[in-house]
Amino acid sequence: MVQVIQAQTVNIIDLKEKFGLQLAESDDFFTEWFDNLPEITESEKQALDRVKANYLSLVERRPILEELVKLVVLAPLLDLAGFYRLPFDIETEESIQIALEDEEEIIRGRIDVLVLKQQLWLLTIESKRAGFSLIMGIPQVLAYMLANPNPEKPAFGLVMNGSNFIFIKLTKQDVPKYAFSDELTLLKRENELYKVLSILKNLGQILI
């Protein structure tokens, strides 16, 4: 009988043991989050300033749950990055599963937002409840990224909880390897949403 594991219960140790996943040590492995980033316009900066102000205003009044995180922060970022327009297409809450090699076991879960281009996975974004540690979402997103049906191409992910953001890169050639960006936050005086958007735009350009 096939054993099913919910993706949200998976941890990094599970993924390392079952898939041979390794953390890339080289700084050259994931340069897409900081090297040759596109400039963003003044109008985009103004829009991101409003996103930051809206989020911080809501945080002062109520707990910001996952749906509000998507509405207030994630949706404007995807719009400004151009992911609502061709050649991209977006599927939400897409169910996926991973079959483990040589084991009667399946990891199954749901992706909050999946950006597609011609049915190829480009960017997976897992939106966690505001206030949750990003560490809680990283194994879940890595499990989804391991299901990328195009192992010859890198997969990219973003884990966010509304105020904090971490980008992830995964490659599957030979041994699966992954690496993180620095953690970005809109709780600083400077608006780090500018860099989040610039990274999203860069990944979009690369993956096209």
First to last CA, the chain: 41
Find the largest Cα–Cα distance for the chain.
Answer: 57
> CA-to-CA distance for 23 and 3, rounded, in angstroms?
27
- With 50 as the cut, is the pLDDT of residue 122 above it? no
Q: Report which listed range, 59-63, 106-110, 126-130, 184-188, is most confident.
A: 184-188
Write down the domain spans for the chain: 3-207
Rounded to the nearest 5°, which phi and psi values hold at 110? -120, 140
Considering only CA atoms, which of 205, 200, 203, 208 is closest in space to residue 76?
A: 200
- Cα three-residue angle 139-71-61, rounded to 5 degrees: 100
How do 164-171 and 3-6 pair as beta strands? unpaired
Confidence of residue 64 (pLDDT cuts 50, 70, 90): low
Over residues 138-151, the pLDDT tens digits come to: 888 888 888 877 78
For 3-207, CATH gives 3.90.1570.30
pLDDT value of residue 119: 42
Q: For the chain, give the number of residues.
A: 208
